[in-house]
Chains A and B, each alone.
Chain A
């Protein structure tokens, strides 16, 4: 018996995902329509954003392109959660119907097995849009393009994605304790709307809330500072990569602890 290490899990992950993509592509029309749907939702969101901000030269000393950068980064940071961790949205139904039991009998990590089941390609369009917006903002901000800058941005993007996924892990896991957990997830997800705004437009209470309670400031604002404020990095930007790994790990432990309470029935 081989050890179940990262390589073992990656192999299984790619096996499941490649099969899943293959079968999804065979429902091509379905796929195209839902991708278009997501794209249109995002374009509509973007136009609203554009109309609001075009009328101000700046908000709290943030100029239009900086705000645009945050917007683009936020789209990118939400994508992995949507593509790779989407099954969290179904957790509550599985737990309540009792169907969650079907995940409990495999000799592999339960969280991994559960999350690997769904891979949602549709978020890719959103991701491309985010990249486009960031490039456009970057050019207009007239920042220089350096390898280091891009690498830093990628590291921050991964960190931001981990925090976002972690937030949703915890929100989803509430169903192991609570009867009415549906609204928890929806509410928490609604908060992620605020990732698109610079955190200093909020008052102090909200800033603390968004940094340490539901840390959405780590999903866009702090990581983006690596580009937008590279000469004077906030301390929370510097610790963001470590924070994100820690936060994701904690969210995983909470999820697994909840699952260990699961006793194989619906309610």
Chain B
């Protein structure tokens, strides 16, 4: 059964061209000087119970706007959002009872309360029974070590601890959907993986549906069975990660090093070299989406093996300059997704 359904959802923002100063502020109250911005443009989507969906796209793509509609803060300009069969923006309180939300870097917990006290207040607010509360805490303990957070007021926590606390709080009342908007932004690697483990655990134990927006492909690879990519408010891709890789299966990255000692090459000259090489390759080979970039002393050549032969490219470069070292890499999720953003509409 679908737990979330978006049907031709559009959201426009009416943007006031604001004036300066106090007089301007008063004039603005009566102003008709508007322009319109389409933040979400005709998106349809069905999400099943227990799915973890990575909702991806560059900044300003419309991810947060979509989440705000799903959580009931915003109403679509047209189209319909259904969560558990109901329109969240018409039943804000009812919907809120059954969801958890985390907006990265915006703690929803009480600043001065220790975590355990915040949890007690949340238990009251969501009317969680003593037994369910205890069971949930036991599950938490089995998944993650939170002893050092338990007695700490939120204000004394590091960003990572605060985010973790917010995520713990979001699952506390066992909601059917949890929305995580850029939860791991600014966190270190170990905290990221801790959070990933926790989310994975909750999803598998409680079948919580999770909608995750992130710029971190580590999160996507670790968590998401399915990804939806949007840009400029439009859906570009909606499928699982394997298919995404298959779609780009013929893409390879050839990493080349021109010097024995990687450290002695400076970045600027490498960059020039990469730009020059890109031009030459594009002139000499048919694949027009060959791109060349720099990665810590290495030059990365992204190519599609359907269009060009790897050996030919290598020989071409070798004929111009001596190659010291060479590596072949599968394309990473991050690069695939970047490719989709750049390519515009692929599907």
| Nearest residue, chain A, Cβ from B97 | A107
Residues of B within 8 A of A16 (CB): 110, 113, 121
A44 at the interface (CB under 8 A from B): no
Q: Is the interface of A mostly helix, strand, loop or mixed?
A: loop
Using A12-B125, A107-B97, A263-B68 as known contacts, say yes or no to A102 and B106 having CB atoms under 8 A apart. yes
Scoring A1, A108, A264 by chain B CB atoms within 10 A of each residue's CB, the highest score goes to A264
Q: How far is the CB of A258 from chain B (nearest CB, A)?
A: 13
Residues of B within 8 A of A262 (CB): 73
Residues of B within 8 A of A108 (CB): 93, 125
A104 touches B73 (CB 8 A): yes
Of A106, A180, A263, the contact of B73 (CB 8 Å cutoff): A263
Of B94, B107, B121, B124, the contact of A102 (CB 8 Å cutoff): B107
| Nearest residue, chain A, Cβ from B126 | A107
Binary contact track B25-36/A, C-beta < 8 Å → 1, others 0: 100110000000
B25 touches A180 (CB 8 A): yes
Of B28, B94, B99, B126, the contact of A179 (CB 8 Å cutoff): B28
Residues of A within 8 A of B18 (CB): 179
A5 at the interface (CB under 8 A from B): no
Using A19-B113, A24-B112, A117-B110 as known contacts, say yes or no to A105 and B71 having CB atoms under 8 A apart. yes
B121 touches A179 (CB 8 A): no
CA distance A177 to B31 in the complex (A): 12
Scoring B22, B120, B124 by chain A CB atoms within 10 A of each residue's CB, the highest score goes to B124
B254 at the interface (CB under 8 A from A): no
Q: How far is the CB of A113 from chain B (nearest CB, A)?
A: 8
B127 touches A2 (CB 8 A): yes
**Which residues in A have some Cβ–Cβ distance to B below 8 Å?**
1-2, 11-12, 15-16, 19-20, 23-24, 98-99, 101-109, 117, 177-180, 183, 262-264
Q: Beyond the given A12-B125, A180-B22, could you list 16 further A-B residue pairs with CB under 8 A, ordered by the A residue number?
A: A1-B97, A12-B121, A15-B124, A16-B121, A23-B114, A24-B112, A99-B106, A102-B103, A102-B108, A105-B96, A107-B97, A108-B93, A263-B13, A263-B68, A264-B68, A264-B73
| A–B pairs, 11, beta carbons within 8 Å | A12-B125, A19-B110, A19-B117, A99-B106, A101-B68, A102-B103, A106-B125, A107-B93, A179-B18, A179-B28, A183-B22
Q: Which 9 A-B pairs have the closest CB atoms?
A: A107-B97, A180-B25, A107-B96, A23-B112, A102-B108, A105-B101, A264-B68, A19-B117, A264-B73
